Chain A
């Protein structure tokens, strides 16, 4: 037997050494190809300030989750911008495991990073670590995180501008004094902000709100169909429905189609993704307008904000990314089918004017 056994044992160890070698070669590959988005880079003209003039700058990106269309594109944008700036970006992805995000953040603090970007997360979980980082003199930039720590730069998508952009379109489409419906849920910070804008717009336009329904579940789109259908049965005379979150808008679209009201009722949504574009451009879709930010551009802009903060040139505690209105007519006219085509047709999505300087090579188109 021993003739068979020893080679097997040797094989096991050999496979470990192979594993180690694979580890080495992959890590160099990863750093070369980390920013493989299709973004073109606008060359920098100015001289780099410190610390960028002194060599590679280490930045950690600590994410609650990097999964899903939106977060993947956000991450790609961030990586591409980091590469263009010569930043050595280490990405920690907790895969929605909040306990892991806490230890990830702790590792990032110890890793010698000069700045840390925190993308989402429970304040109760990450607040003490953010305090620690600031105390250690690390620059901290948060995206969509409520934090009370002084010295932290807060970045977020501007939800008020998102609602306003869609409601401006809605005001033109349905006119003053129209009967309207509303699909929204209270208790989510982003949706609450959109709600404030809605309340103002309803008053300003003299709209008569006939119903307000909505809930958020594991399958929000499907679960809102019966709610909106019931509301439409009672109030089939509305001419516009505002559903300021794409899952709510998808459910509303299905409900309007179920009730065969697509010629009379227009849906105004929010957010934009590949799936949303398909939904809006489909034949007979009542979804006539939405507003959104480009996740990839947002990720890149957060990295640029971090770079400015590191160079001591930001000089403000928060940066907001404005949303852009996108109409069904525009999508159909330009034959836009996905986010890539949308980015090309709508340069305002690129946030190329946000957090930039002459020494920053901007990855925006």
Chain B
């Protein structure tokens, strides 16, 4: 590919770095390398596998990654304040159980379920904020703790059982409700041929980008992430902003939970657990996009699309899931090289 450029390594360091071809090439590699990899993989699969090119397959790929992507947006927000949210998968899973409980057991309409799920997500975010901001527990450890607490309490809520329409309840009666058709449309419905979950993913990406890159609040979040002490001295209410990031992350994770619930169509107790690592991975991959070296919304969205392309492409090629894990891991490591090794070197 572009590796032929390496022959242009200057033989002496006397050339001023800003004008040297090598440095310009290197900067381009850092800035566009990841986009290039994504496009290259896309073309490779599109040219070699006819069914990969179909719009239905591509929309399915986006539908598949929408949950990890939305969870990744939450992780991105917490990474912006220098933190990390390990509870997003558990919160999404909680959303699935709450949605099932509301509609199937309490026989409520879809809108009530949506409000209940979002409230549960916000509460989980508040719990994280309490532990991290008030009780001063390191973010990774605090959210890991809430992850277990949420996974466990979710099971207590449903008595360790998957909630299915028509199941027998503790008092011997039959569950009165079901997943409403309107609620199931979240993932199964389309508008102008595009799955609604993909539209939600797109809207949230734009919303998160505007918030993080185009508003004062977003700049404050990055400032806190870069230097909390300086931010405090500048008069920023650091605690309040960090709490905001975790609450938003919780709400985003619960939106992911809504999509999962609509996709599965019953209260699957194991839902969400597999999403955590993918969400963290896409947020980390995202740090390398455009050579930013820091969490950013478009990077996360592109990271999710890249993971989707790899998963779908390799599946169509007939490779088992464990080889996909290896490739995904290699891509993550490569992204981290871009993000940390190369861009750090550039800044020194």
Verify if A313 is at the interface (C-beta below 8 Å from B): no
A122 to B165, CA, bound (A): 12
- Contact: B323 with A26, CB < 8 Å? yes
Q: Mark B131-167, 1 if CB is under 8 A from A, else 0.
A: 0000000000000000000000000000000101100
In-complex Cβ contact of A122 among B5, B9, B264 (8 A): B264
B41 in the interface (beta carbon within 8 A):
yes
- Stretch of B24-32, B70-78, B224-232 contacting A (4+ beta carbons < 8 Å): B24-32
Interface residues on B, range: 35 or more
Which of chain B's residues 259-282 have a Cβ closer than 8 Å to chain A? 260, 263-266, 268, 270-271, 274
CB contacts under 8 Å to B, within A105-130, are 106-107, 109-112, 122, 124-125, 127-128
Q: Which of A12, A95, A102, A122 contacts B338 (CB 8 A)?
A: A12
Contact with A along B334-348 (1 / 0, CB 8 A): 100110011001101
Whole-angstrom distance between the Cβ of A14 and the nearest chain B Cβ: 5
Partner pick for A10 among B5, B184, B263, B315, CB 8 A cutoff: B5
Contact of A47 with B by CB under 8 A: no
> Which residue of the partner chain A has the closest CB to B1?
A17
A124 and B334 alpha carbons, distance in the complex (Å): 39
Report the bound CA distance from A100 to B321 in whole Å: 12
Residue-wise interface mask of B (26-43) relative to A, using a CB-CB cutoff of 8 A (1 in contact, 0 not): 100110010011001100
Set of chain B residues within 8 Å of A92, measured between Cβ atoms: 315
Bound Cα distance from A230 to B240, whole angstroms: 57
How distant is A2 from chain B, measured CB to nearest CB, in Å? 5
Q: Which of A19, A30, A107 contacts B57 (CB 8 A)?
A: A107
Of all chain B residues, the one with the shortest Cβ separation from A104 is B315
CB–CB B22/A16 < 8 A: no
The 0/1 profile, CB within 8 Å of A marked 1, for residues 189-207 of chain B is 0000000000000000000
A127: B residues at CB distance < 8 A: 265
> In the complex, which residues of chain B have a beta carbon less than 8 angstroms from the beta carbon of A111?
51, 57, 316
Chain A residues whose C-beta falls within 8 Å of the C-beta of B60 in the assembled complex: 103, 106-107, 110
> Which chain B residues lie closer than 8 Å to A8 at the CB level?
337, 341-342, 345
| A19 x B327 contact (CB < 8 A) | yes
**In the complex, residue of chain A having the shortest beta-carbon distance to the beta carbon of B179:** A124
Given A2-B13, A103-B263, decide whether A10 and B6 contact each other with a Cβ distance below 8 A.
yes
* A3 CA to B341 CA, complexed, in Å: 15
A5-B26 contact, Cβ under 8 Å, with A93-B320, A95-B274: yes
Known: A34-B318, A103-B64. A5 touches B33 (CB 8 A): no
Contact yes or no, A9 B260, CB < 8 A:
no
A26 and B326 CA atoms in complex are apart in Å by 13
User: In the complex, are the beta carbons of B274 and A100 less than 8 A apart?
Assistant: yes
The answer to whether A2 and B26 touch across the interface, beta carbons within 8 angstroms, is yes
Considering the complex, give the chain A residue whose CB is closest to the CB of B11.
Answer: A3
Query: For the complex, is A353 an interface residue (Cβ under 8 Å from B)?
Result: no
B69 to chain A, nearest CB (A): 13
A332, B64: Cα distance in complex, Å: 50
Q: Tell whether B20 is near chain A: CB-to-CB under 8 Å.
A: yes
Contacts of B56 in A (CB 8 A): 109-110
Q: Which residues between 220 and 263 of chain B lie within 8 Å of chain A, taking CB atoms?
A: 260, 263
Residue of B nearest to A24 (CB): B48
Q: How far is the CA of A93 from the CA of B323 in the complex (A)?
A: 12
Chain A positions 27-74 with a Cβ under 8 Å from a chain B Cβ: 27, 30-31, 34
In the complex the two chains form, what is the Cα distance from A5 to B30 in whole Å?
11
Q: How far is the CB of A102 from chain B (nearest CB, A)?
A: 5
B81 within 8 A of A: no
A residues less than 8 Å from B5 (CB atoms)? 6, 10
Cβ-based interface call for A13 (8 A): yes
Does chain A have a CB within 8 A of B2? yes
Q: Say yes or no for B172: interface residue by CB 8 A criterion.
A: no
Q: Tell whether A9 pairs with B26 under 8 Å between CB atoms, given A98-B270, A100-B274, A110-B56.
A: yes
Closest to B265 in A: A124
Query: Nearest Cβ distance between residue A180 and chain B, in whole angstroms?
Result: 28
- Does A91 touch B at the CB level, under 8 Å? yes
Task: Flag whether B112 is at the interface (Cβ < 8 A).
Answer: no
B330 interface residue (CB < 8 Å to A): yes
B338 to chain A, nearest CB (A): 7
In the bound complex, what is the Cα–Cα distance between A12 and B20 (angstroms)? Answer: 20
Q: Chain B residues near A90 (CB, 8 Å)?
A: 315-316, 318
Cβ–Cβ < 8 Å partners of A27 in chain B: 317-319
User: B residues bordering A, Cβ < 8 Å?
Assistant: 1-3, 5-6, 8-10, 13, 17, 20, 22-23, 25-26, 29-30, 33, 36-37, 40-41, 44, 48, 50-51, 54, 56-57, 60-61, 63-64, 67, 162, 164-165, 179, 184, 187-188, 260, 263-266, 268, 270-271, 274, 312, 314-321, 323, 327, 330-331, 334, 337-338, 341-342, 345-346, 348
- Of the A-B pairs whose beta carbons lie under 8 Å apart in the complex, a sample of 11, sorted by A's number, is A2-B13, A6-B25, A91-B320, A93-B320, A98-B271, A99-B268, A103-B60, A107-B61, A110-B56, A124-B264, A128-B265
